[in-house]
Amino acid sequence: MANRISSYFADSHWIFQEYSNATRFMDFGVLATFAVGLALSFGLLYYLASSSSKPAMSKEEWRPFKLIEKMPVSKTTAMYTYPQGNVSRAVNQLKIGDSIEMKGPRGTFEYERNASDVVGLLAGGTGLTPCLQVLEHALRDDLDKTRFAMIYANTEHSEILLKDRLDALAKQHPDRFRVHYFLMDAPDDWQGGKGYVTQDAIDQHLCKSSDRNRLLMCGPPPMINAMKGHLEKLEFPSARTVSQARDPVYVF
């Protein structure tokens, strides 16, 4: 059962940065009193609602979101919002000193160092968030030798989130991480993948089906459904409707 957590945002903890017309990056602080237990969770789902009168939003109107970073006690973390969503619009209108309510984490995902030789990451749009959490958690661990291969798909170049961060990780850990980008509307000089992520692209850029390999996915439902079909043809285990903690194919 998820716990209900109230969080107060102090002036020094607010950072807003526009990434695209549909996406905003936010850093915020969580009171240590309410952050107990969150420091150990990553790749899991949280729920967000407003508890302030500005903007007005029903407390029953909870919406799910995933953190960009593993939440440390009393420090900052990050999330993305879509301005066209009801809850997201309300969050975007919050002023310094307002409060929100958050509950979570919810989910069963587990990651264990060296349990896999290669972990493939299939991400679309803001589905990057849990994949990046797992990736950075593993790369920070000097005892973890797991390798990671990512395909990150977006509609256009301006929608690629945290590309500098991903490229820096690939440069810092060339033996453990590589990333391949896909764009639906690619510019003429684009060097990455173009169009939909295909079965051949997964076979080429991620990992093979094996008892020692694992695949994690997060993205828009149409993309995830298509990827499930590709993976089954590549003889990966079928993804469950609701993924379990250590499934070889896990959908966030």
Residue 45, domain CATH: 2.40.30.10
3-class SS at 6?
Answer: strand
Considering the domain architecture, whether residues 79 and 178 belong to the same structural domain is answered as: no
34-37 LR contacts (CB < 8 Å, sep 24+): 34/5, 34/6, 34/7, 35/5, 35/7, 35/71, 35/72, 35/73, 35/74, 36/73, 37/3
pLDDT-derived band at 129, boundaries 50, 70, 90:
confident
Within-domain flag for 65: yes
Considering the domain architecture, whether residues 71 and 124 belong to the same structural domain is answered as: no
Annotated binding site for FAD: 87-88, 129
Within-domain flag for 144: yes
Q: Report how far residue 14's alpha carbon sits from residue 3's, in angstroms, rounded to the nearest whole number.
A: 24
Overall average pLDDT of the 65-83 stretch? 52
Within-domain flag for 45: yes
pLDDT-derived band at 64, boundaries 50, 70, 90:
low
DSSP code at position 239: P
pTM: 0.78
Residue (of 66, 28, 35, 52) closest to 101 by Cα position: 52
Considering the domain architecture, whether residues 126 and 231 belong to the same structural domain is answered as: yes
Considering the domain architecture, whether residues 7 and 43 belong to the same structural domain is answered as: yes
Considering the domain architecture, whether residues 141 and 166 belong to the same structural domain is answered as: yes
Supply the pLDDT for residue 108: 79
Within-domain flag for 230: yes
Look at 26 and 154; give whichever has higher pLDDT. 154
Give residues with Cβ within 8 angstroms of 57, minimum separation 6. 49, 50, 86, 87, 90
Look at 2 and 170; give whichever has higher pLDDT. 170
Annotated binding site: 87-88, 129
Within-domain flag for 85: yes
Q: Name the phi and psi angles at 13, rounded to 5.
A: -100, -5
Q: Is the predicted pLDDT of residue 42 greater than 80, yes or no?
A: no
pLDDT tens-digit map of 168-196: 999 999 999 999 999 999 999 999 999 99
| Of 59, 78, 106, the domain-final residue | 106
Within-domain flag for 141: yes
Considering the domain architecture, whether residues 97 and 128 belong to the same structural domain is answered as: no
Our count of domains for the chain comes to 2
pLDDT tens-digit map of 202-221: 999 999 999 999 999 999 99
Considering the domain architecture, whether residues 238 and 144 belong to the same structural domain is answered as: yes
Considering the domain architecture, whether residues 126 and 81 belong to the same structural domain is answered as: no
Within-domain flag for 113: no
Within-domain flag for 112: no
Look at 44 and 228; give whichever has higher pLDDT. 228
Look at 165 and 42; give whichever has higher pLDDT. 165
Supply the pLDDT for residue 126: 85
CA 131 to chain centre: 5
Tokens representing 233 are: 């043809």
Considering the domain architecture, whether residues 55 and 86 belong to the same structural domain is answered as: yes
Look at 195 and 30; give whichever has higher pLDDT. 195
CATH of the domain at 133: 3.40.50.80
- Which residue reads 């310094």 in tokens? 96
Considering the domain architecture, whether residues 97 and 143 belong to the same structural domain is answered as: no
The percentage of the chain sitting over the pLDDT mark of 70, rounded to a whole number, equals 58
Considering the domain architecture, whether residues 98 and 23 belong to the same structural domain is answered as: yes
pLDDT-derived band at 122, boundaries 50, 70, 90:
very high
| Of 64, 81, 106, the domain-final residue | 106
| Of 106, 137, 163, the domain-final residue | 106
Considering the domain architecture, whether residues 123 and 243 belong to the same structural domain is answered as: yes
Overall average pLDDT of the 96-111 stretch? 70
> Which range marks the domain in which residue 64 is found?
3-106
Q: Report how far residue 132's alpha carbon sits from residue 168's, in angstroms, rounded to the nearest whole number.
A: 13
